[in-house]
Structure 1
Amino acid sequence: MKKNIALAIICFLPFHLFAQQQWNLKECIDYGLKNNRSNTVYENEKKAADAKAKEALADYLPKVNVTGTFDDNLKVQQSVIPAGVFGPDPVKVAFTQKFNTNGTVQLDQTIYDQSLLNGLKANKFSKQQADLNIKQNEETIIYNISNAYYQIYVYREQLRLLKENLETYHKQMDISKLQVQKGVTLQKDLDKVTVDYNNASSQIRVAESNLTLSENQLKYEMGYPINTVLPVDSAAQQDVAMPAAVNTNSSSFSAFNRTDYQLSEVNSKLLQIDQSRIKAGALPKLTGYVRYGAVGFGNTLGPAFSDLNPFSAVGLKLTIPLFDMFKRNAQYNQAKYKSLNAIENLKLDAGKYQLEYENSRTKLIKAQTNLDNDRRNIALAESVFKTTDLQYKKGVTDLIDWLTARNSIKDAQNNYLSSLYSFYQAKLDLEKAGGSLKTFYSSL
């Protein structure tokens, strides 16, 4: 008894573990948000924005410069003292010696620079821009993974239907072979069924290839190793075949929910700051400094380095730009018109995003209606085929009617598969247009 229980546990574990390995849509998105290579790119851009903010702040921090010079005056420069100062004749005097050393340490501190202060305001918006770029990249990952995932579901549904068709044709081929052997029907009838059977086989191979391509696309969007098997969850196949209806009655929409709109707003604010920064360039700039150094002279190298004369100074420097107004005005006008265009583009974007949302909403309503109709049409075509198949077996109708009824099922299935994919595509497009992809992801 104990051996039987242990054997049952051993047999159950592999299936249980395998079931745990099935990836549903939320798990695929979770993996993609962590492992897609584009995440690294946008994280690096955020770090670059942080570094840029520190660079802007550094212009208002103290700066210390150390300067050292050593001169070997090959020919010492002389100055002339005019006649009458020290005697009746002019006197030539050298105010330096052959060797001259000079070392200086100077600290500069910006006390007031309005253009720098305005530039510091851009740091907050630059960080917001980097964060929004990360958010937009996450939304793109969610959209692409969901799209590839739904493609896999649709191709699996197509394979299921094609294999059902293939089985039906195979059974009919067996019946037709017996009828040909008994002389009840002609070889051409068997050939007609065989042609449809071969066509179904070819369609299965194409669908299998498309399924593999979709699986590879999903791996790529997730950042999952291409050569590693990714067991996508197929337990929810019924949910795909019968997708839940989507409420499209709500027309509430706000362009601000769109990340790209938020990015445009941030860009507009940055342009306004740039405009004020250029304008502030006309204001005076005040800088304080502290300087300490030493000077050495000598006709030989020794005294020039050993006999140093220290000096120091503390001072203020006021800079008033006077004659650069033409260049600055041109720069200001450029920034002003860029800022005005950014504001107008925001209004254009709001209208464009409203249009995208309404169009996506309309497409989803149509796709949902088409899906319901095509699903009912399959059931109707199958009902017609059952009747025709029964009539054919009783000899009331011929093979042409049987094949026609079967082809009607195939046409209905193709329309259904197209509507199924269109439905999921429209659903994703509506989430994207409404700026609710992350909400969609959280609700999975």
Structure 2
Amino acid sequence: MRKIAITLMCSFVLLKGMAQQAPPNKQTHNFSLQDCINYAYEHQDSVKNAKLDILSADQKVRETKGQGLPQVNGSISFQDFLKAPATVGPNFLSGAPIDPNAPLIQFPFGAVKYNNTYAIQASQLLFSGTFLVGLQAVKTYKELSERNLNRSRIQTNIAVTKAYYQVLVSNEQVKLLDANINQLKQQVNETTQQNKQGFVEKIDVDRLNVQYNNLVTNRDNVQRALTLNYAMLKFQMGMPIGDELMLTDKLSDINLESAALENSVDTTFYRNRIEYQLLETNKKLNELDVKAKKADLLPSIAAVGGYSAVFQENHTRYLYNHMYPSSYIGLNINIPIFSGFQRDARVKQSQFEVQKSQNMLNNAKNGLTLQATAARVSFVNSLNSLNNQKRNQALANEVLRVSKIKYGQGVGSSLEVTQAQTALETSDNEYIQALYDALINKVNLDQAYGRIK
């Protein structure tokens, strides 16, 4: 029961800050496990944020493609020269030979007082190696966001499944406690009557009442924990805590035996793990970064053109009487020649990142294989423990049945019956713990082998 208690404590901490009154429009849901998972895919915030990341990646693709489309910019400027700049030079207006040693004079003409310019420039990228590599990179970036969504869905699936199983186990525990309470209540009533008739001592009745009260208290505690487990499940699903949720799946629907047989001989299962796939995508991005750094060595070519209109006058009322237009077209070619070996250094740095990515993939392969091996061992052990606890539970019921018969025939003691009852309660608790462990380890095994999508 220790693991269940720890789980409940963690659940309480998560839900402590989100207690709220049930909304007036609360809904009732009858959900299977798959229904809960599908609901979480639509309502869990982490999944919704991952979907928004994909939409953002789509816009990143558009942004990068836009670099290859025409770029058009316009500008407008207006200048009022409070003091016009002077134009100086040698005095050639006098007609006399120019004396290079003579002082310079200020000419009467210079910039006019008012200047209003309208201009438009356009450019079209014709060739750029970094742009072509960038198009590949943004597609891989989108692939990364899609895999991040898949990871969020897997994490949500795992969290919902474990919470769902916790509710099923708690319901099973309540049923076992109810059965024990009912049979113990019957025993208390029979023993009380026997005490009134003088056949048994008062201490026998008291001993049974102590057990009965402890069982009822335990049952009440489990029932409150069950309410918290339902709240935890709804939290993992992104469902309002005030909504009513009824589970339609049963423990008998879960085939634990078949889980140990799946993928038992698959040696490439690690490729199904989203963690490995994310590392593959990261390596691909690093390889594209190498290509982009190398593309910096290639020239880039762009077609350019522009048109401008200038209005100049010393008086505002005449400013727009005359327009002085200009226009141009041309090519801009940028040719990298030498950058002090900076580009070569950047390429080598990116190549080292690719090698590191490969090392991380190798390490992930070994780590995921180890994790799968450990998950299989834990699951098989928990499955064996569960089967053993089922046998112990059956034996404890049989011992209690025989003890009650012997006591009724006068050849056994009430203490023997009490001990048998205690043993049954212990076996029930150990069965519940073994059942919980087997279910959780099944989820861990499915995760380890990449079965959860």
TM-score (norm 2): 0.86
Corresponding position of 1:248: 261
Cα-Cα RMSD: 2.2
Partner of residue 215, structure 2: 200
Q: Secondary structure at the match of 1:47?
A: helix
- C-alpha deviations, 1:89-119, integer Å up to 9, x for none? 5553334211122221110122222122211
Identify the residue that residue 206 of structure 2 maps to in structure 1: 191
Partner of 1:338: 353
> Counterparts in 2 of 1:239-388, with a 5 A limit?
239=253, 244-248=257-261, 250-253=264-267, 254-322=269-337, 324-325=339-340, 327-388=342-403
Work out whether residues 29 and 244 of structure 2, in 8 Å CA contact, stay in contact via their aligned partners in 1: no
Residues 1:23 and 2:31 aligned together: yes
Structure 1 gap ranges (5+) = 1-19, 439-444
Cα–Cα, structure 1 residues 358 and 74, in superposed 2: closer, same or farther, change >3 Å?
same
Cα 1:274/1:302, change in 2 over 3 Å:
farther
Contact 2:260-2:379 at 8 Å conserved across structures: no
- Shift of the alpha carbon at 1:322? 4.8
Of 211, 229, 233, 1:214 maps to 229
Deviation at residue 179 of structure 1 after TM alignment: 2.8
Instruction: Flag the 1:322–1:238 CA change in 2: closer, same or farther, 3 A.
Output: closer
In the alignment, structure 1 residue 88 sits paired with structure 2 residue 102: no
8 Å contact from structure 1 (residues 287, 318) kept in 2: yes
Residue 51 of structure 2: aligned partner? 43
Q: Distance in 2 between matches of 1:308 and 1:359?
A: 83
Pairwise CA distance, 1:212 = 0.9
1:418 to 429, 433, 436: 433
Partner SS, residue 199 of structure 2:
coil
User: For the residues of structure 2 that align with 1:272 and 1:62, how far apart are their CA atoms?
Assistant: 29
1:48 to partner: Cα distance: 0.7
User: Structure with the greater relative contact order (CA < 8 A, sep ≥ 6): 1 or 2?
Assistant: 2
Q: For residue 72 of structure 2, what is the amino acid of its counterpart?
A: V
Structure 2 distance, partners of 1:257, 1:330, is 36
Per the alignment, in what secondary structure is the counterpart of residue 361 of structure 1? helix
Distance 1:210 1:415 in 2: 18
Distance 1:396 1:152, change over 3 A: same
Contact 1:245 1:368 in 2 (8 A): no
Rounded Cα–Cα distance in structure 2 between residues aligned with 1:278 and 1:398: 88
Q: How many Å apart are 1:176 and its aligned residue?
A: 2.3
Query: What is the distance in 1 between the residues matched to 2:124 and 2:258?
Result: 66
Alpha-carbon distance, 1:83 to partner? 4.8
Percentage of pairs with the same residue? 28
For the pair 1:66 / 2:80, whether they are aligned, the reply is no
The alignment partner of 1:360 has SS state of helix
The alpha-carbon distance between structure 1 residues 154 and 288, as it changes in their structure 2 partners (threshold 3 A), is same
Distance 2:240 2:273 in 1: 32
Distance in 2 separating the partners of 1:35 and 1:285 = 47
Partner-residue secondary structure (3-state), 1:231: strand
Question: What does residue 406 of structure 1 align with?
Answer: 421
Shift of 1:21: 6.2
Kept in 2: contact 1:248–1:365 (CA 8 A): no
Contact 2:115–2:312 under 8 Å retained in 1: yes
Using the TM superposition, give the Cα deviation of residue 319 of structure 1 relative to its aligned residue in structure 2, in angstroms.
2.4
1:100 alignment counterpart: 115
Distance 1:51 1:325, change over 3 A: farther
Separation (CA, whole Å) in 1 of partners of 2:304 and 2:96: 42
Aligned length: 417
Q: Which amino acid aligns with 2:354?
A: S
CA contact (8 A) 1:111 1:287 kept: yes
Seen in structure 2, the aligned counterparts of structure 1 residues 400 and 87 have a Cα distance that, compared at 3 Å, is farther
CA distance in 2, matches of 1:215, 1:319: 65
Corresponding residue of 2:138: 123
Tell me how far apart the structure 1 counterparts of residues 345 and 198 of structure 2 sit (CA, whole Å): 96
Supply the distance in 2 between the matched residues of 1:430 and 1:35 (Cα, whole angstroms).
Answer: 26
**In the TM superposition, what whole-angstrom CA distance separates every residue of 1:310-349 from its partner, at most 9, and x where no partner exists?**
1111112222345644554554444333222111101111
Structure-2 separation of matches of 1:98 and 1:152: 84
Partner SS for 2:124: strand
1:434 aligns with 2:449: yes
1:224-239 maps to which residues of 2 (within 5 A)? 224-233=239-248, 236-239=250-253
Q: Secondary structure at the match of 1:297?
A: strand
User: What is the letter of the counterpart of residue 80 of structure 1?
Assistant: V
For 2:113 and 2:366, the matched residues in 1 are separated by 77
Distance of 1:388 and 1:403 partners within structure 2: 9
Structure 1 CA distance, aligned partners of 2:256 and 2:217?
A: 28
Unaligned runs of 5+ in 2: 1-27, 99-103
Matched, 1:158 2:173: yes
Contact 1:56–1:119 (CA<8 Å) still a contact in 2? yes
What letter matches 2:97 in structure 1? Answer: P
Could you report, residue by residue, the CA deviation over 1:383-409 in whole angstroms, capped at 9, with x for unpaired residues?
A: 122111100111111111111111121
SS of match in other structure, 2:118: strand
Matched-pair contact (CA < 8 Å) for 2:260–2:376: no
User: What's the offset of the Cα at 1:303?
Assistant: 3.2
Q: Which secondary structure does the structure 1 equivalent of 2:123 belong to?
A: strand
Shift in alpha-carbon separation, 1:284–1:194, aligned structure 2, 3 A? same
Q: Using the alignment, how far apart are the partners of 1:245 and 1:329 within structure 2?
A: 56
Q: Verify the 8 A CA contact 2:61 2:138 in the aligned structure 1.
A: yes
